[in-house]
Amino acid sequence: MTMAGQTINDRLLAARHSLAGQGLAKSVCKATTEECIGPKKKHLDYLVHCTNEPNVSIPHLANLLIERSQNANWVVVYKSLITTHHLMAYGNERFMQYLASSNSTFNLSSFLDKGTVQDGGMGVPGGRMGYDMSPFIRRYAKYLNEKSLSYRAMAFDFCKVKRGKEEGSLRSMNAEKLLKTLPVLQAQLDALLEFDCQSNDLSNGVINMSFMLLFRDLIRLFACYNDGIINLLEKYFDMNKKHARDALDLYKKFLVRMDRVGEFLKVAENVGIDKGDIPDLTKAPSSLLDALEQHLATLEGRKVSAANTPTQSSSNQRNVKSAVSALSSTSSAFGTAAASSKFDNTNGIDEQLKAQVLAEEEAAMNQYKSKVSSPTSSGAAGASAALTNPFLSSPPAAQAGQPIVDLFGAASAQPAAAAAATKASDDLLQLGNPFADMFEASGGGGAAAAGATGAALNANNLWMHNNGSML
């Protein structure tokens, strides 16, 4: 059962945190509801703001998200991972540092939400979906864990380092450090590419939002990776045998990953990302790989044809120059895409699903308003309801202009016939003034009329017997 898109469990949990004064826990709960849409931007923005506040406990925030990831509902788990990823990307670096330095990781390698399938199957919205989404949750959690490990190993985030020929961190690294850095970057990129989704898998706002965050990371990771490979190629022919062997192995892995990145970008294009926002991949000529292998064979003392000749050396230089030119084009394309903030503000919510949810919520709100609106303002039905409900009735229009009876002042004149026509039961139902009858006949008729009226009233008053005095 849901209320305005959120389940009863969501509302009760948020209310419990409110009563306990746990504002941070309530915000995490709001960002990780059971609604099958991505976390709302206002909740993510608030949590990002919390990471920048010195009085907010980063360990407490991280542990709240990890605790939510242990939920049995796949939507809650997935949204806790998305919220964590968002804070890694846009929050204060203290959040990333804590995840990297602590042993708190997302242990979801065996996660499977099959309860909804057993209870409702295909007939229940989200029933089969939970079973289908579980593999992506396991892969997504693995990537976030690998992202934390990369930060622990390098003390910086590959998605946030400087890129480019002039100030790029991996472009200006020395050979020994570069050979240690690239395997760490490769491991993180492999974990991202293992997400391995197709366009038909992106069937709801939750997985759509995670895909957008992964797409953003991929652009930045591969821009760094490409810079590192360019640096590696420029230094390759000056390396010793051991370093050259490692560098050649890294380059071969780079070629494989370039193909997999191209497949990921095709999925992004198929799900509606503008083709102009997707960077182009320019591969190095295949002749470069032959030149690298021949150079390594020469260093290892193996026989190769036409090795160490001036012609071969000049050919190597041309191959490297051609490869660097091609990869520089790729670096420029990915660098431009990475510098763009277009994907930084997207919340990844499927627009069609969002419009449907908003329409349902508006219809429910209109129905609620029609039920609780005042019956007196709804025509004939309101008039009949006013007659039967004494607490909703209003004074008759004929009496609207009459002044309120003043018990301590001069009473206004009113015909005695009108007073006689008023029944006691009508006074009770109309919530009138029971003391008004005592003064209705007084006023303009003079003292004689007042005396006669008083005598008539005394005759009907049980307390005024025995010569007008109280017993």
Q: Give the mean pLDDT of the chain.
A: 77
Residue 282: pLDDT band (50, 70, 90) is confident
Token duo for residue 64: 């709240």
**Structure-block tokens of residue 403:** 């002044």
Q: What is the pLDDT of residue 192?
A: 97
Enumerate the β-bridge partners of residue 7: 2
CATH 1.25.40.90 positions along the chain are: 1-157
Residue 331 has pLDDT above 90, yes or no: no
Q: State pLDDT tens for residues 171-180.
A: 889 999 999 9
Query: How many angstroms separate the CA atoms of 54 and 412, rounded?
Result: 71
CA dist 292 and 290 (Å) reads 5
Q: Helix (H, G, I), strand (E, B), or coil: what is residue 3? A: strand
Q: What was the pLDDT predicted at 333?
A: 86
φ and ψ of 7, to 5 deg: -80, 165
Please tell me the total number of residues recorded for the chain in this structure.
471
- Identify the top-confidence range among 55-64, 126-135, 418-427: 55-64
201-251 tens-digit pLDDT: 998 999 999 999 999 999 999 999 999 999 999 999 999 999 999 999 999
**What is the model's pLDDT at position 338?**
81
**Alpha-carbon gap, residue 85 to 91, rounded angstroms:** 9
Least confident among 38-52, 97-111, 343-357: 343-357
Give the mean model confidence (pLDDT) for residues 73-91: 95
Burial grade of 110 (CB within 10 A; 0-12, 13-18, 19 or more): exposed
* CA distances from residue 79 to 44, 271, 337, 456 in whole angstroms, order as listed: 11, 20, 26, 80
User: Looking at this protein, which amino acid is placed at residue 422?
Assistant: T
CATH 1.20.58.150 domain range(s) in the chain: 160-353
**Pick among 2.60.120.10, 1.20.58.150, 1.10.1040.10, 3.30.2130.30: CATH of 160-353:** 1.20.58.150
Does 267 have pLDDT greater than 80? yes
What six digits make up the tokens of 255?
């070629």
Contact call for residues 319 and 291 (beta carbons, < 8 A) = yes
Torsion of CA 337, 342, 346, 349, to 10 degrees: -70
Does 123 score more than 70 pLDDT?
Answer: no
Long-range contacts of 6-9 (CB under 8 A, 24+ apart): 6/33, 6/34, 6/35, 7/33, 7/34, 7/35, 9/34
Q: How far apart are CA 189 and CA 84, in angstroms?
A: 18
The share of the chain scoring above pLDDT 70, in percent, equals 63
Q: What would be the CATH architecture of the domain defined by 1-157?
A: Alpha Horseshoe (1.25)
